[in-house]
Amino acid sequence: MHSTNPPARTFILLLCLFAAPFAGISQVIQPCASDEMYALEVAENPRREALRAETEAEIQLILRNQRAGDSPESVVHQIPVVFHIMYYEEQDNISDAQIQSALTILNQDMRRLNPDTSNLRAVFKSSAADLEVEFVLAKIGPNGECSNGINRRWNINSLAANNNIKSSPSWPNTKYLNIWVVRGINLSGTPAGTIVLGYSAFPYNGIPGIQDGIVIRHDQLGSVGTAQGERHRTLTHEVGHYLNLFHTFQGGCAFGDQCADTPPVAASSSGCNSNQNTCTNDLPDLPDMIENFMDYSSNQCMNTFTQNQKSRAKAVLTSSQLRGNLASAANLMATGVSGTVNCSPVADFEITNPLLCSGDSLTLVDRSSSIGTPVYHWNVLSASNQVVHHVITQNPSLALPNPGVYSVSLTLQASNGSNTLNKPLSVTVRPVAGTSHSPWFIGTMEDELPNASWATTTFADSSYWRRSGAAAQQGQASYLFQNSKLIAGGEVSALVGGPFAYPNTGTLNLRFAHAFARKASNNNDQLKVSVSSNCGETWQLVRIIPAFQLGTAAIVTTPYVPAASEWKYTSVNLAALGLQSAGNLMVKFALNSGGGNNLYLDDVQLSTTLGNEELVTEPVWIQPNPSRSGAILAGAQGEVRVLDLSGRLVWKSYADGDLALPDLPAGSYVLHCAGISLRWSVL
């Protein structure tokens, strides 16, 4: 309903069962947070109130001119759009088909071509409108490069997105509508457990890109893929805000949404209650328009915009100070929406399985953009830069039988040039049969990732696990998980070791050193330890270590680096796995971030408990054995390690012949040299 008073900001939380992805689960759902985001901006910069008032004054001037006879001719405004898919896991990396589905639904709703228009009640049919606005995927990027209007980036902020997601990537907001697609949205002040479906920026003169555009959950887009068959209208609703439309319940019965043909609504609607009439002060007294896209009714109830809403949207697109440049002829040419597209090709691809076992196939998915039909040149190179595969198919699947670390490159040749993308050391192939370390494996963390023993689960987030020379339990380095960089709420990347061969005798044990600190007492990080006996095809969780057990230091608010005394060992008995015969085992460490600080891992040991009959008889021996002091290891060559029976390394040296052993406290030890294990008793 029209009002000359400025619209009040409304803060709404709905406790309901809303939309297919949440069916059967009672959740606090907030369908839109555009008003809340606006309130946060005002709190940060009170001038936003004045800018909004200036925008409204300009729109009212345009509308008055239209009523005076200066009405614009009927024209369909096209707006270039780019979807930034900010994925955290592969399930968030939604398909091109789902994006196209979302765009189809949006444009049908904008043009009143949606298949459910007949559901609009007769009392409102005369006010229904075709907004004459269409959104088109950009074909040219901001630097003249070819594009399909869809960017894909791994981004940890996808878990709890707000305007933090807009810094990279962001295309010029004067040329494109930027839509960031995320897993979850988290706004300051929102109650814990609230699920926000989306939000949009309202236009004003000079709005910066970091504030502009739309942020939306991926399961609220389209009707396929993660949308689970529902015809979602969240994007339609947020585009309405982008074009400066307010909620129909804006200001309740007293103020309204600045549109005379939308009856006032006391509060947001839910469900499909066609008998609802929450305001009776309008003339004529009409029921609530639950069919309007700018309410919170169920998706299946929404089906219309109104003529007055169309006038407001057109006013925004008429003003060059608001959204007018987007639909200008020059901008449509520049973004490839109209005219001849002339752009430089862009090579891009995804590696769906960067960690695999020998004999598995590497799958490469083309994400390139170009004019016409390009020629593909894929190269897979070994660590020594030898070409292992060269293929020209668009989406190849390639066998990699030999263990090692591989690089992948794609050169795209198109009619307007060529472009190459390299992803060095991006694929790790593990042997199905592990390297024998019987009866001990000691995983030192001296080498950069990935290497012959260790790799991370994904290429996109490999930077979160890295070698650190700043701290070590033994040797010169450990593996650091940079948890201090993350927000709480997810498992980013796993560190995977192996496979390692184990014998068919004794009880299998896993032991590792770790150092960790919390940033606050309520941090709830968890380290999950899993093992696999089939080269990672399936994993079995064997231990969850919560933050209070994982921690080795007091609360540290700066990026944590442990002191030498801030290390702790954790042992996991693997007897329950029932591994009765010899085989191969992989180990996986994954930190579920709960707001804590950095995690360090070192000295990973996989061993069997030895009996006397399991000792190896070789021409290497300890004399005397047992001994009190002065023991000699005869015939030794290479590295020598002495461990206590819990698996803790107590001494290490190198030998080229007989080697004097240290004087150790009384007890039983295992000496490991060149694959040979000897029992040593100190009296």
Known catalytic residues are 238
End-to-end CA distance of the chain: 94
User: Residue ranges of the alpha helices (H) in 199-328?
Assistant: 234-242, 307-318
Question: Which residue type occupies 429?
Answer: V
Cβ within 8 Å of residue 326, ≥6 positions away:
79, 80, 174, 175, 176, 177, 317
Residue 112 burial by CB count (10 A; 0-12/13-18/19+): exposed, middle or buried? middle
DSSP conformation letters of 134-188: EEEE-SB-TTSBB--SEEEEE-GGGGGBSGGGGSSS---TTT-EEEEEES-B--T
Question: Tokens representing 268?
Answer: 């947001």
Centre a 10 Å sphere on the Cβ of residue 593 and count the other Cβ atoms it contains.
24
What helix, strand, coil percent values describe the chain, rounded to 5? 20, 35, 50
- Looking from the CA of 260 toward its CB, the CA atoms found within 13 Å total 5
SS in 3 state form for 577-639? HCCCCCEEEEEEEEEEECCCCCEEEEEEEEEECCCHHHCCCCCCEEECCCECCCCEEEEEEEE
**How far is residue 327's CA from residue 521's CA, in Å, rounded to a whole number?**
52
Residue with the two structure tokens 């060149």: 674
Please name the residues in contact with 20: beta carbons below 8 A apart, sequence gap of 6 or more: 227, 228, 229, 230
Quick one: 648 exposed, middle or buried, by C-beta within 10 A (0-12, 13-18, 19+)?
middle
C-alpha distances out from residue 668 to 8, 211, 325, Å: 77, 66, 80
For 379, phi and psi rounded to 5 degrees?
Answer: -130, 130
- Residue 215's closest CA among 241, 248, 245, 246? 241
Whose tokens are 């399936």? That residue is 538
